[in-house]
């Protein structure tokens, strides 16, 4: 199914808003990556702690 050229160039209001936001704040992508890193970083768990956690879990 082929789309007309008009339909392939369509951009929603949200897409335009995000594009304008990125133009206004070029550092936004780096800030997003830094924020995601804060949420996904976890302290490493030692092997002894992992073994203790596995041993203390109760099967259902």
The domain in which residue 40 lies consists of 11-56
* Residue 9 vs residue 48, higher pLDDT: 48
Q: Where are the alpha helices (DSSP H) in 2-46?
A: 5-8, 13-24, 28-40
Prediction pTM value: 0.47
Overall number of domains in the chain: 1
Is 4 within the bounds of a domain? no
Residue 40 pLDDT class (50, 70, 90 cuts): confident
Closest CA to 32 of 40, 58, 43, 59: 40
At 59, the pLDDT band (50, 70, 90 cuts) reads confident
Token duo for residue 53: 């956690």
Task: Answer whether residue 1 is part of any domain.
Answer: no
Q: What is the mean pLDDT of the chain?
A: 85
- Confirm whether 6 is domain-assigned: no
Does any domain span residue 40? yes
Q: Is the pLDDT of residue 8 over 80?
A: no
Within a domain: 52: yes
């Amino acid at each position: 199914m082929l789309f007309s050229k008009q339909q392939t160039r369509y951009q929603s209001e949200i897409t335009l808003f995000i594009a304008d936001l990125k133009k206004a704040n070029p550092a936004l992508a780096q800030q997003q990556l830094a924020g995601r890193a804060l949420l996904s970083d976890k302290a490493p768990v030692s092997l002894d702690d992992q073994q203790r956690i596995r041993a203390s879990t109760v099967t259902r």
